[in-house]
Amino acid sequence: MMVRVLGGLLCVLALFLGGCSNSDGIHVSGRIDNPGNIKVISFYEGDRKLDSIYLGDGNTFKFEREATQPRLLSIAVGNNKYPVILSPGEPLTFTADMFSPDDYKVEGSPLTEALRDFAPFKRRKEFVQDSLQSSFAKATADKSAEEIESLRFDYLTTFKEKLALYTKQAVAFSKDHPDLAGFYAISTLDPEVAENEILAYADEIKDQFVDNRYVSQFKEEAGKLKRLAVGQPAPEITSFTPNNKKINLSDFKGKYTLIDFWASWCGPCRQENPNIVKQYQAFKDKGFTVLGVSLDNNPGSWMRAIEDDKLDWTQVSDLQAWNSPLVVDYKIKAIPTSYLIGPDGVILAKNLRGKELEDFLQKTLN
């Protein structure tokens, strides 16, 4: 304790004689031109706000923090967020003009300069994402629950197609930058589109950046994602048939089982049902079966849909719709969603529909 106090006193004394070395901390200073009503900028690490700083004379600012290793932060200026990597001994200079917020400048940090070069890819991805979300919002105005669910399925399909290019760009960037800059690129990927890439990268860096909060959050989320990845055991399902018989997913071990999340009011689900019926009839004697899990809350509608669509396999529901615990357990964001599991209960594939499901069963069971 005495040594620490003495060190602090020596550092204070050194300030009068010329200052302590900045190698023991991270530093960023800069200027925000044409800030308008912006008076404060903030610094984040992941979702956690580290500090907020008022702009000083000439709209300048300075941020300092003790650190012994690089930190991946973001500078929030109004609605704009800028990723920066601050390393001990590398004071960063940051300048942005709110008349042209995308054309910001950084000096003093090669890793932050790399992030700036990656920024156009991310802006393009966000533009596409925002455009799709806006189109979805307009298209679903005054629509019924069934119509909204149908449009949601179409939106997610288009979303995945549009973001495939961005996934390739982010992965390529990460391979060129085996550092926090590469990590940042992967952290911006959407799990709906790039599950395999995220999990592969999380495994690659499992022993790296161990004291970085942002990276720790990423690894934690990747761990949750991995629970439902191909090759993992499917979470247990316990629910009830229309006749109130208790059914467990584990009852189906020994068979290839399609877990089909659907509902009577879901248009795309009902459109897919004839294909599932066809595959069930073709392969039920070869070790294949289906477990239908409905997100209905009306037992009458549920049972009528089972009869109308001739769904002869086991059907279960807790009649809690989107409030069902299974929605959380299986991270259901839209239906239809399906998981094909093997005789050992391990996930073999996800969301196989139409010809994809038929081809997979032909290859596996013939």
Decide the pairing of beta strands 256-262 and 288-294.
parallel
Encode pLDDT of 8-35 as tens digits.
333 433 333 333 444 569 999 999 999 9
DSSP 46-115: TTEEEEEEE--GGGEEEEEEE-SS-EEEEEEETTEEEEEEEBTTB-EEEEEETTSTTS-EEES-HHHHHH
Low-confidence ranges of the chain (pLDDT < 50): 1-22
Domain locations in the chain as residue ranges: 18-108, 115-226, 238-365
What is the enclosing helix (H) or strand (E) of 140?
none
Q: Determine the Cα–Cα distance for residues 184 and 113; give it in Å rounded to an integer.
A: 13
**Spatial separation of the C-alpha atoms in residues 233 and 360, rounded to whole Å:** 19
The pLDDT tens digits for 73-118 are 999 999 999 999 999 999 999 999 999 999 999 999 999 999 999 9
Q: Residue 353's pLDDT is what?
A: 84
**pLDDT at residue 23 in the model:** 53
Whether pTM > 0.85 for this model: the answer is no
Name the CATH superfamily, with its identifier, for domain 238-365: Glutaredoxin (3.40.30.10)
Per-residue pLDDT, 149: 63
Q: Which of 250, 236, 258 is CA-nearest to residue 330?
A: 236
Fold topology of 18-108: Immunoglobulin-like (2.60.40)
